[in-house]
Chains A and B, each alone.
Chain A
C-alpha cells in the first residue's frame, strides 16, 4: 500500500490485490474482540469520576457502533477503483480518520485478547491457533496504519 497523492482534501493510495483483500477482510469482520471497559482516571475515585467513567464507556460503545457501520462503507464503489496493476483507494480526510480508528481498535483489541504482551513478535510455534489469529490481525492492522501515515 503506497500513497499516490493528496489532492482536494482526499488521500489516494495504491494497493495490490492481496492488500485490498486483506483490508476488506478486516473491515467486513470488524469488530474481532469485545469492547473492554476503560478507566477515566487512576487517582480520582469520587462520584463525579464514576459518572464520567460511565459516560465515557457508553460513548465509546456508541462510537464503536458508528465505526462498525462506517467499516462497511469504506471500501464501497467510488472509493476503490481497479486500475492497471492494482487498486486505487480514495479516502476523504474524515474517512481516513475512521479507518485509522477501526484499525487501532482491531490492534489494541487483539493485544488485550493476547494478555497485553510486551513482546509483539513472539515465535509462531509458541502460540495457539487462536493466539496466531490475533497476532495476524494485530500485525495486519499495524501494517495498514503504518502505510496510511508513514508517507503522509
Chain B
C-alpha cells in the first residue's frame, strides 16, 4: 500500500531587520571598588546621577563593595562617557567597557 507523504515545509523564521541601534557599539558603565569610599557616599552618588531609588542604589553599592565592581548601566558611547565623567567628578572609580 502506497504511503502518502506529507509535503515537507520549512518553518518560516522571521528575521528581525537590523536597525542602526544594533550596529552602534554599546558600553557597560562599571564602578570599581575602592575601600576609601564610604558606602553612604556611593549610594548617594548613584541616586543622584542615575535617579535611582535608595533600594536600587544600595544594591549596586553592595555589589561594588562585595564583588569588587558593579555594572551600572549599558549605554551608547556618548551617554556612557557622560556617566563616567559624572561619577569621576565625585571621585568614584568608574570606567566604560565595550559590551559584547
Query: B-side binding surface: helix, strand, loop or mixed?
Result: mixed
Residue count of chain B within 8 Å CB distance of chain A:
22
Query: A-side binding surface: helix, strand, loop or mixed?
Result: helix
Q: Which A residues lie within 8 Å of B62 (CB)?
A: none
Interface residues of B in 54-100 (CB under 8 A from A): 77, 81, 84-85, 88-91, 93, 95-98
Render A72-106 as a binary contact track against B, CB cut-off 8 A, 1 for contact.
00000000000000000000000001001100110
Q: Which A residues lie within 8 Å of B44 (CB)?
A: 100, 149, 152
Given contacts A56-B84, A100-B90, A101-B89, contact A142 B38 (CB under 8 A): yes
- Name the contact of B38 in the complex, choosing from A59, A146, A152 (C-beta under 8 A): A146
> Cβ of B40 and Cβ of A43 under 8 Å apart?
no
- Name the contact of A97 in the complex, choosing from B35, B48, B85, B96 (C-beta under 8 A): B48
Query: Taking the complex as formed, is A40 at the interface, i.e. its CB lies under 8 A from any CB of chain B?
Result: yes
Given contacts A59-B85, A146-B38, A149-B41, contact A104 B96 (CB under 8 A): no
Q: Which A residues lie within 8 Å of B37 (CB)?
A: 104, 107-108
Q: Which A residues lie within 8 Å of B98 (CB)?
A: 41, 43-44
> Cβ of A107 and Cβ of B96 under 8 Å apart?
no
> Cβ of A44 and Cβ of B38 under 8 Å apart?
no
> Cβ of A100 and Cβ of B41 under 8 Å apart?
yes
Q: Which A residues lie within 8 Å of B89 (CB)?
A: 60, 63, 101
> Cβ of A150 and Cβ of B88 under 8 Å apart?
no
- Name the contact of A104 in the complex, choosing from B35, B85, B90, B95 (C-beta under 8 A): B90
Query: Taking the complex as formed, is B12 at the interface, i.e. its CB lies under 8 A from any CB of chain A?
Result: no
Min CB–CB distance B1 → chain A (angstroms): 66
> How many Å lie between the Cα of A100 and that of B38 in the bound state?
12
> How many Å lie between the Cα of A105 and that of B77 in the bound state?
26
> Cβ of A145 and Cβ of B35 under 8 Å apart?
no
**A residues neighboring B (CB under 8 Å):** 38-44, 48, 52, 55-56, 59-60, 63, 97, 100-101, 104-105, 107-108, 111, 116, 118, 120, 138, 142, 145-146, 149-150, 152
Q: What would 19 more interface pairs be, CB under 8 Å, given A40-B81, A42-B95, A101-B90?
A: A38-B93, A39-B95, A44-B98, A52-B81, A56-B88, A59-B85, A60-B89, A100-B44, A108-B34, A108-B37, A108-B91, A111-B36, A116-B36, A118-B35, A120-B35, A120-B36, A146-B38, A146-B40, A150-B40
A-B contact pairs, 30 of them (CB 8 A): A38-B93, A40-B81, A40-B84, A41-B96, A41-B97, A42-B95, A43-B97, A44-B97, A44-B98, A52-B81, A56-B85, A56-B88, A60-B89, A63-B89, A100-B44, A101-B90, A104-B37, A104-B41, A104-B90, A107-B36, A108-B34, A108-B91, A111-B34, A116-B34, A118-B35, A120-B36, A146-B38, A146-B41, A149-B40, A150-B40
